[in-house]
Chain A
Amino acid sequence: MTTQDAPVSSGLVLPRYRRDDVDAHPPLLSPGYKSTVARAPKHPLIYLPQRLTEVTGPLLGEGRVGALDHDLTRQHDGEPQGQRIIVHGRVRDGDGRPVPRTLVEIWQANAAGRYRDARDTWPAPLDPHFEGVGRALTDDQGRYRFITVQPGAYPWRNHDNAWRPAHIHFSLFGRAFTQRLVTQMYFPGDPLFFQDPIFNSVRDPKARDRMIARYDHAGTTPEWALAYEFDIVLRGRESTPFEDEDDHDDE
């Protein structure tokens, strides 16, 4: 067993994170999504055995989250336009263990489908009461909760008459560099999935379905907000490293 004051030149036993299955994530080169063509690397990724830098990661805590950061409907003097929704869920690892006290960052378009950004210039109204930015920390059980408005779909120029399905961007750190994830949450029954190359870049239909939130009637607040549940699973740890450590060879 390694102790805090032992010499560290060898015998270091590190946790290891499972590699994701090949189909879990979209291929970097997905030509239907045109921006990947000049941006996806041509060389295959080089396999990197996980070392200290990869199995640790920034534990960004309370100092990052203000009192109203989880409530995107109360960040301005007035309420934003649109359907009020609660978005909540659990962040867990691949073994079902909660990921506690981890930062969840979200951003989204407003109810009309427009982002608060100078470069987003399509003719849909900006909402003076909606920034579209949220932050929360998971609790000890890995739970998070946001209050926001249903984002609108919006056009983009990827292909003829291209529209992004409504979505909320999610960014997560987990507890290790290997767990870092940026994804998007989609809404059930969206009629725009069929023509969206970003959603469809995930080839395994089961993996794709994980990006669709569940409508949660029990989680609604009567006469106030609908609710969606969106659980997020980050990579799990290998279960063996602390048993087979004896000499060396952790590969």
Chain B
Amino acid sequence: MSEQLGVMPAQTVGPYLHIGLRWPDGPYVVPEGTPGAFWIRGRVFDGTGTPVVDAMVESWQADPDGRFDHPDDPRGARPPALAGFRGFGRSETDGNGWYGLLTVKPGSLPEPDGGTEAPHLTLSVFGRGLLHRLVTRLYFPDEPAANAADPVLRSVDADRRGTLLARPAADGFEFDIHLQGDHETVFFAV
């Protein structure tokens, strides 16, 4: 039994996170022009309904085949068939609290117990006033059957489940994040 090392505590990214965390290609989970690509846009709000202008949203997702190019995917790491697919996105919020990510829909995922997870993105939210990142998930409104069977959505009270569903928008989907307040987004402990 080796002794556990204590983990490093989290601290806020502060208001100037973009100094160190800005990448020109950050929002592009897939390159512009990728077939089937769409934008996910949304605003981050605080408990007073004020847009959060100094936040950052990061996304992580499977490729359209439901695979990860990662050694801990027990089905084996597999480079995505879709050219330029990175799986990861990062977007600061702008002066009105908007973030944006260009991506494609991930595939469904097998579950250890034989069930299936609906297509989803997992999101981290960072910002001034957030001493640790917040984790949430984004599900797609055009997947009602898969969503109804999704074990994570099912674990959330029905009256709050809607906070995890994106809305259709002109060029993709819209997904607002409410850190607090009447429509507080569901956040997870992972």
A, B in one complex: yes
Q: Are the C-beta atoms of A107 and B134 separated by less than 8 Å?
A: no
Count B-side interface residues using an 8 Å CB cutoff. 74
Docked complex Cα distance between A178 and B122 (Å): 11
State how many angstroms separate the Cβ of A5 from the closest Cβ of chain B.
8
Name B residues whose Cβ lies closer than 8 Å to a Cβ of A. 2, 4-21, 23, 46-48, 50, 52, 58, 60-62, 68-70, 72-76, 86-88, 109-114, 116-117, 120, 122, 124, 126-135, 152, 155-156, 160, 179-180, 184-190
Docked complex Cα distance between A124 and B11 (Å): 25
Give every chain A residue within 8 A of B160 (Cβ-Cβ).
43
State how many angstroms separate the Cβ of A202 from the closest Cβ of chain B.
4
Q: Are the C-beta atoms of B68 and A182 separated by less than 8 Å?
A: no
Q: Which residue of A lies closest to B128 (CB)?
A: A35
State how many angstroms separate the Cβ of B102 from the closest Cβ of chain A.
16
Give every chain B residue within 8 A of A75 (Cβ-Cβ).
none
Task: Select one of A36, A55, A171 contacting B20, CB under 8 A.
Answer: A171
Name A residues whose Cβ lies closer than 8 Å to a Cβ of B. 2-4, 6, 8-15, 18-21, 24-28, 30, 33-43, 45-48, 50-60, 64, 92-96, 105-107, 115-117, 119-120, 131-134, 169, 171, 175-178, 180-184, 198-199, 201-202, 206-208, 210-211, 232-236, 248-250
Task: Select one of A2, A26, A133 contacting B131, CB under 8 A.
Answer: A26
Contacts A55-B72, A233-B8: A43 and B184 contacting too (C-beta < 8 A)? yes
Q: Are the C-beta atoms of B187 and A46 separated by less than 8 Å?
A: yes
Contacts A41-B184, A171-B20: A211 and B68 contacting too (C-beta < 8 A)? no
Q: Are the C-beta atoms of A38 and B47 separated by less than 8 Å?
A: yes
Give every chain B residue within 8 A of A92 (Cβ-Cβ).
5
State how many angstroms separate the Cβ of A99 from the closest Cβ of chain B.
12
Give every chain A residue within 8 A of B18 (Cβ-Cβ).
117
Give every chain A residue within 8 A of B113 (Cβ-Cβ).
10, 248-250
Give every chain B residue within 8 A of A234 (Cβ-Cβ).
7-8
Docked complex Cα distance between A125 and B5 (Å): 41
Docked complex Cα distance between A199 and B14 (Å): 12
State how many angstroms separate the Cβ of A242 from the closest Cβ of chain B.
10
Q: Which residue of B lies closest to A184 (CB)?
A: B11
Q: Which residue of B lies closest to A91 (CB)?
A: B8
